[in-house]
Amino acid sequence: MKICEILKVEKIIPSMQCTNKEEAIIELINLFKEDDRVKDTESVKNAVFEREKIMSTGVGKGFAIPHAKTNSVSEIIAAFGKIDKPIDFQALDDQPVNLVFLLVGKENLVGPHIKLLSRISRMMNLDDFRENLAKAATAEEIYQLFETEEKQYFEGV
């Protein structure tokens, strides 16, 4: 499963105004309020916040990947946001976060969920990719960067 199969342009926020971790997560989850694949956005929020309590998903280098598994979704969903003023996400490297990738999967789709988390993490470890995302001004540009990077590094995977 590819990132660009689950991440859609309309689920990308190129300029988030949030001031803390909770607002960032809620802003991304709210993109799914009218989405047929999500039965209950409140349950999705609860699942993501419960996972966040275990350990921060701020993985470092200005990037966070809040995620969870819940049967409140019918398939794996994703959203991405770029925060204008980096926020404290209790990241592992204690650095503020400006790039947030939300991933929510179904309880029984553990394998694809883990593969996607791994793929996203590997891409976000690339300094050039993160820098290009930070410079991108539109949702379309951001999506294009994900698509290009994924083709470059994961074709045939």
Q: Are 13 and 28 in contact (CB under 8 A)?
A: yes
pLDDT digits (tens, 9 = 90+) for 8-17: 999 999 999 9
Confidence band of 157 (pLDDT split at 50, 70, 90): very low
3-state SS of 3-68 is HHHHCCHHHEEEEECCCCHHHHHHHHHHHHCCCCCECCHHHHHHHHHHHHHHCCCEEECCEECCEE
- Quick one: pLDDT at residue 155? 60
* Between 48 and 2, the higher pLDDT residue: 48
Buried b / exposed e over 130-143, threshold 16 CB at 10 Å, is bebbeebeebeebb
pLDDT digits (tens, 9 = 90+) for 59-86: 999 999 999 999 999 999 999 999 999 9
pLDDT digits (tens, 9 = 90+) for 115-152: 888 889 889 999 999 999 999 999 999 999 999 998 88
- Quick one: pLDDT at residue 48? 96
pLDDT digits (tens, 9 = 90+) for 15-48: 999 999 999 999 999 999 999 999 999 999 999 9
Known catalytic residue at 67: yes
Options 21, 45, 67, 113, the catalytic residue: 67
Confidence band of 111 (pLDDT split at 50, 70, 90): confident
Domains of the chain, earliest start first: 3-154 (3.40.930.10)
